A and B are shown apart, each in its own frame.
Chain A
Amino acid sequence: MKITCVFQALVDRHMAAHGSPADEARMRAHLLGCAECRAYYDRHLLLARLDPYAMAAEERMARGLALSRSKRLRPWVLAGSLVAAAGFALIAARPSNRTGEMQARGTVTHDDAPRLFIYRAEGDRLVPVVQRMARGDELVFAYRNPHGKKYVMVYGIDEGRRVYWFHPQWTNAQEDPHAVLAHPGSEPTRLLEAIRHPIEGRVLRIHASFLDRSVSVKEAERELEDHGIIKDAETVSTTLEVQ
């Protein structure tokens, strides 16, 4: 059995831009003398070079120098009032493990697929978000959970692989909030808060993952990093251009 150097975890953390400057210093010092970790780092670099959504080296290196301008954990939360959704043209994301096609719906329908509905808060109104959003939009979400999963997580990932958490909200890096309880059924359920993130990318893929286990945001991010998905979840996704 091959034993891997324990410092590879620091390389992983650097590449995910999760490390601290202290982590960076430890990793850099270790790389000087460890050929195995240098080779691992180089394979990460190859992956980053090929992956069209990889974080730019400049931004990744900035994190290790505490220069990053990304403030991905700063949502502004407003307690929104519940606005009647009847009559809206709802744009629903279909499950990405089915056809992956996005389509507009004229009215709410009641089939057996999970759905995510996305709106922009404009004063007291909720306006459906269709294909594109403005960088400063406060987003409101509703979902349909016909398979009765116990929990839901709503998050966005931009082309730089920055993760923006909507539900649960993650405002304190010291905490590790868990998936929110999901209401079962075919009727849309709205998540109350309108949330704005300082989206840095130009393309934001928003996901709603419905699952039966209570996953924390850090666990979810690890699974997304390792597998590209949250395991054992039904996930619906939609892609928005950010303007």
Chain B
Amino acid sequence: MSLANGDLWLEAFHNGDSAVLATCYREHYKDVARAVSRVVSGSDAETVTHEVFFRLLSQPDMRGGFTGGNLGAWLKRVAYNHAVDFRRKYRNEVSLEGVAPQEADAPDAEFSTDAAALIDRFRKERLPAKWAPVFELRFIEQRPQRDAARVLGIQRTTLVYQELQIRALLRRFLLREAQ
């Protein structure tokens, strides 16, 4: 529910009612994450997102800043401002050049240059050729399992087996080898 609806709900929100705040989290996590990711990315984005919700859950003063209306819009504004402050304080970046306007909807991001390079290295250095089609369909394109099996003309159980192997290789590559 993006519109605060009634004095009772607002009172519960200000009082830190756990069910109300848990619902806020579920309903607005994506909004907050998107607002933050206009300004910072990667681990910084998740740190800021965590901080926004941590403060919402633990600080009555912060919750008191919302006095009714569109909770989603309020949270997005808070998140955006928090991300800008974070960027200035921890990354010494004062300019907002390259930061998307607050009102714009951030499109789903392509892979960053670094991520694309890692994926390419994985393909060339670690991924056996026989598993490349499964990697492209399931890991890059994120196609459903049933679709991928149909396109590749293999049984789903065979696909699952290959996925398991690819996942182990990818995990080892990204977390152990690609330092």
Contact = CB atoms under 8 A, between A and B. Distances in A.
A127 B29 CA distance: 41
Given A32-B90, A100-B160, A40 B175 contact: yes
A65 interface: yes
Contact of B57 (A42, A65, A100, A239): A65
B160 A45 contact: no
Nearest to A42: B42
Contact of A61 (B50, B115, B145, B175): B50
A52 interface: yes
Q: Chain A interface: which size bin?
A: 35 or more
Contacts of B57: 65, 67
B163 A52 contact: yes
B170 A51 contact: yes
B170 A50 contact: yes
A2 B179 contact: yes
Given A47-B170, A96-B161, A205-B160, A58 B140 contact: no
Chain B interface mostly: helix
Contact of A239 (B54, B160, B168, B174): B160
A38 interface: yes
Given A28-B50, A47-B174, A64-B50, A58 B168 contact: no
B50 A32 contact: no
Interface string A207-240: 0000000000000000000111100000000010
B171 A47 contact: yes
A57 interface: yes
A101 interface: yes
Interface of B: 21-22, 25-26, 29-30, 33, 42-44, 46-47, 49-51, 53-54, 57, 90, 111, 114-115, 118-119, 138-140, 142, 145, 155-158, 160-161, 163-165, 167-168, 170-171, 174-175, 178-179
Closest 7 CB pairs of A and B: A41-B43, A228-B168, A100-B161, A42-B42, A50-B139, A43-B174, A38-B43
30 contacts: A4-B179, A28-B51, A31-B47, A32-B47, A37-B43, A41-B42, A41-B46, A42-B114, A43-B175, A45-B43, A46-B115, A46-B174, A50-B140, A50-B170, A53-B163, A58-B30, A61-B53, A62-B25, A64-B50, A65-B25, A65-B53, A65-B54, A96-B164, A101-B157, A101-B158, A226-B171, A228-B167, A229-B164, A229-B168, A239-B156
